[in-house]
Copies of this chain bind each other. A is one copy, B any other.
Amino acid sequence: MNIIQLDENVSLTRDLESGTEKQQDSVQAIIRKVREKGDQGLKDLTEMYDGVQLDELFVSEEEYAEAYKDFDDRSLDALQRAIGNIRSFHKKQIRQSWMTTEEDGTMLGQKITPLDYAGVYVPGGKAAYPSTIMMNVIPAQTAGVRNIIMTSPPNQDGKLTPAVLVTAAELGVTHILKAGGAQAVAALAYGTESVPRVDKITGPGNIYVALAKRAVFGQVDIDMIAGPSEIVVLADDSTRPDYAAADLLSQAEHDEMSSAVMVTTSRTIAEKTKAEVETQLADLPRKEIAEASIKNHGAIYVADSLDEAVEAVNELAPEHLELLIQDPHALLGKIRHAGAIFLGSNSSEPVGDYMAGPNHVLPTNGTARFSSPLSVDDFTKKSSIISYSEQAFLQEADDIAAIARMEGLEAHARAVEIRGKGEK
């Protein structure tokens, strides 16, 4: 892990992965196949990519029941507590439709309605994370989405893992499609005989899933294209290097592409943290992944002042930001761009990943500049309400016609001027 003195020449940004041409072509071909062949296309592609022939595309009641048998009570307790906390936080995000009323009778407002259908992609294999399901399903449910279709690739026995099935069951998800990759995204976006077309697809996935989501964007809505995960730990001379190192490694173990970065005002803490990272790495089960991540994308930047450090943080616009400093609350106002901000030494990133309540689906790779954690808002949409009174209409009719004519749109002007004239 390199220690780098911050100055103007240090580049803090990374490019977005956009896939090779071959990958893009392959995704286009998969989407076409699902659109043309529907359920059969989906089954063929699942056989080809997941190596299993499915009779039934959806998880059965028996499979749900079976999953509970293979799941221990301790884990169930933990999931239930997490579900409770996450529901509680997301309920606070619910917004109401609103309306203004003028004395003349005019009403203006915004009507907020949930989406009809949401699709949640859950990766398969070892990365089949219960937390992914909770964090994507709960905001949709809280928004009031009535139809949630979850999709996840089956293993070679045509099954999903007990942890995935139990988490879904605890949340009340009743429709789980056994499909992964671009084919699952295509089925959700366009619908098949048995899969309803959804309005929005969320959830993480590999490059094929990301490319498919980008390709169907517009046909349906999607969440952001997820890049590799990142953490930035902001440290001063009060920071415990062992905490900082542990938090950096919890990010690094995700993926070799993950990025774990410290920005600190203290060279001593920088050096101690570097040493701690090496010590703690030694006996991690996912040591190889974490080591590669730290080596290629890890860094410790030393800043001359807290202001310079904050500037670097805003430029990085990190997915996760830990303010592991003496007085984190005093600094909050200066943080302009970050997906989630963790304040103080008890707010280790895993607290937010699993338990605290806020969503762990966060803008990656600098996109916190313009995007937000997944939320209830993402599963609702607004309609403007315009109810004009005759009085208001007559008062503004001339101005409306004037602007219409400024734009050369005569029919717009006439639609206003025909009002108030007697019926022929």
Contacts and interface: CB of A to CB of B under 8 A. Distances in A.
Interface in A166-206: 199-200
A387 interface: yes
Interface in A129-187: 129-131, 163
A2 interface: no
A5 interface: no
B75 A402 contact: yes
B370 A115 contact: yes
B355 A82 contact: no
Given A108-B356, A332-B385, A249 B343 contact: no
A282 to B, nearest CB: 12
Nearest to A323: B387
Contacts of A199: 369-370
A290 interface: yes
Contacts of A221: 367, 370-371
Contacts of A344: 387-388
Contacts of A163: 406-407
A338 B382 CA distance: 8
A373 interface: yes
A358 B111 CA distance: 12
Contacts of A347: 386-388, 393
Given A348-B419, A350-B400, A382 B372 contact: yes
Contact of A78 (B78, B214, B392, B402): B402
A96 B220 CA distance: 29
A53 interface: no
A413 interface: yes
B16 A370 contact: no
Nearest to A387: B343
A336 B113 contact: yes
Contact of A225 (B82, B116, B218): B218
Interface string A109-120: 011010110000
Contacts of A234: none
A288 interface: no
B414 A246 contact: yes
Contacts of A100: 92
A305 to B, nearest CB: 21
Contact of A415 (B250, B389, B403, B413): B250
Given A413-B350, A415-B349, A384 B396 contact: no
28 contacts: A77-B402, A78-B399, A78-B400, A78-B402, A89-B108, A111-B335, A111-B341, A115-B369, A129-B407, A163-B406, A240-B423, A249-B414, A250-B409, A254-B409, A280-B411, A284-B411, A285-B408, A286-B410, A339-B384, A340-B385, A342-B386, A348-B393, A349-B412, A350-B415, A352-B386, A355-B403, A363-B381, A375-B382
Given A129-B407, A217-B217, 8 more contacts: A75-B406, A82-B403, A111-B332, A247-B415, A341-B385, A344-B387, A358-B384, A372-B383
